[in-house]
Amino acid sequence: MNLPLFCPIPISDPERIQLAHGEGARLTRRLIREELLAAFSNPFLAPLADAATLPDLGGRLVMTTDSSVVSPLFFPGGDIGSLAIHGAINDLAVSGAEPMYLSVALILEEGLPMETLRRVIRSMKDAAQACGVSIVTGDTKVVPHGEADQLFICTTGIGRLRPGADLGAHRVRPGDRILVSGTLGDHGLAILGSREGLEFGDQLCSDSAPLHHLIAVLLSSGANVRFMRDATRGGVAAVLHELVEQSGLTARLYETALPVSPAARGACELLGLDPLHIANEGKLVAVVAEESADAAVAILQSHPLGIHAAVIGEATSALPPQVLITNPFGQLRVIDEPSGAPLPRIC
């Protein structure tokens, strides 16, 4: 009988997470009441039941889920807490939904400093408030020291589908324009710089941000939007490969049109990375009908999160379906899906 597993020597420092915080009893209840309920306070969460009872949404339901395992937990421009909220908000928003409710499940490593958890909770609280959504239910588990790295968060979001929303790769037509809402690669490069202590770290900041207001403005403008995604893991390239696979069309980009900040461009050149392959956490990729493109860009640019919005390419019927880019000299090259040098725990 392996006694150390059965009766682990508990970490008794009250300022660190203990296994008993995950046992479902007194310490769990205290953690939930004093840290989580106190921060996320709302009438749906307050009963602390096994599930939250919510109003009738009065429309079609949209549901998304995301685990956040980013490392480090805190990075220039954000942290795992705000990232976990923004990720759920953005997945709902690009699906044509108004984000309404979130659940939060925490997996904590024994020994995690309570102050680290508090910082993350504060950040989640602030992000949820700023987004106008409520964290209505949650779960907390603790695993022994060494069996997880500090803190993982799983957020699930639900929202109501906007009436009339009709989005999807099946709606994209040759001639449609491909837009992005701003500069590319900032999140991934900021994480990389922060993790590796690279010099450019100071100039690069994550773009982690909630896109639902920007998207609401775009959709209610009447622009003929066919397809939307937020360009996270795998960057814009992964979104476009998905589009190509689902639509059977080719995505043709113009290299000179890609909005990339000077700091990001410098970092990409130094490291041999392509900004199209790098993760963002607050960048919209939208495909809009050709006749809507100029107006859509102007609308995006009028919003603080869309200042650098641009048309970066178009959908064509060229075969085989692939992602192509035209360089400044007019030469075409194929953009592969990212797959070579993985950058783990980017989000």
Q: Is the dihedral of CA 314, 225, 184, 192 positive or negative?
A: negative
Number of Cα atoms under 13 Å in the Cβ half of residue 11: 20
Rounded to a whole number of angstroms, the distance between the first and last alpha carbons of the chain is 39
Strand partners of residue 97: 161
Segment 229-268, which members bind its own copies (CB under 8 A)?
A: 229-230, 232-234, 237-238, 241-242, 245
CB nearer its own copies, residue 25 or residue 307: 25
In angstroms, what is the minimal distance from the CB of 39 to its own copies? 17
Strand partners of residue 113: 16
From residue 174 to residue 203, the character string flagging contacts with its own copies as x (rule: CB under 8 A) and all else as - is ------------------x--xxxx-----
From residue 90 to residue 119, the character string flagging contacts with its own copies as x (rule: CB under 8 A) and all else as - is xxx-xxxx---x-xxxxx--x---------
Q: Report CA dihedral (107, 113, 116, 120) to the nearest 10 degrees.
A: 30
Residue 125 found at the interface with its own copies (CB under 8 A): no
Q: How far apart are CA 277 and CA 258, in angstroms?
A: 12
Q: How far apart are CA 222 and CA 292, in angstroms?
A: 9
DSSP helix/strand/coil, 145 = coil
Q: Give Cα 9 to chain centroid, integer Å.
A: 38
CB nearer its own copies, residue 22 or residue 77: 22
CB nearer its own copies, residue 65 or residue 316: 65
* Other C-beta atoms lying within 10 Å of the C-beta of residue 292: 21
In angstroms, what is the minimal distance from the CB of 59 to its own copies? 6
* Other C-beta atoms lying within 10 Å of the C-beta of residue 54: 13
Q: Residue 261: what are its φ and ψ, rounded to 5°?
A: -70, 155
Considering only the stretches 125-133, 154-162, 213-221, 250-258, report the one whose residues sit in contact with its own copies under the rule CB under 8 A.
Answer: 154-162
Q: How far apart are CA 146 and CA 112, in angstroms?
A: 11
In angstroms, what is the minimal distance from the CB of 27 to its own copies? 7
Q: How far apart are CA 127 and CA 81, in angstroms?
A: 8
CB nearer its own copies, residue 39 or residue 105: 105
CB nearer its own copies, residue 320 or residue 330: 320
Considering only the stretches 211-219, 225-233, 295-303, 307-315, report the one whose residues sit in contact with its own copies under the rule CB under 8 A.
Answer: 225-233
Residue 204 found at the interface with its own copies (CB under 8 A): no
CB nearer its own copies, residue 11 or residue 295: 11
CB nearer its own copies, residue 319 or residue 341: 341
In angstroms, what is the minimal distance from the CB of 50 to its own copies? 4
CB nearer its own copies, residue 20 or residue 290: 20
Segment 11-40, which members bind its own copies (CB under 8 A)?
A: 18-20, 22-29
Q: Residue 311: what are its φ and ψ, rounded to 5°?
A: -80, 125
Side chain identity at residue 233, one-letter code: R
Segment 292-331, which members bind its own copies (CB under 8 A)?
A: none
Q: How far apart are CA 11 and CA 14, in angstroms?
A: 8
From residue 39 to residue 78, the character string flagging contacts with its own copies as x (rule: CB under 8 A) and all else as - is --------xxxxxxxxxxxxxxxxxxxxx-x-x-------
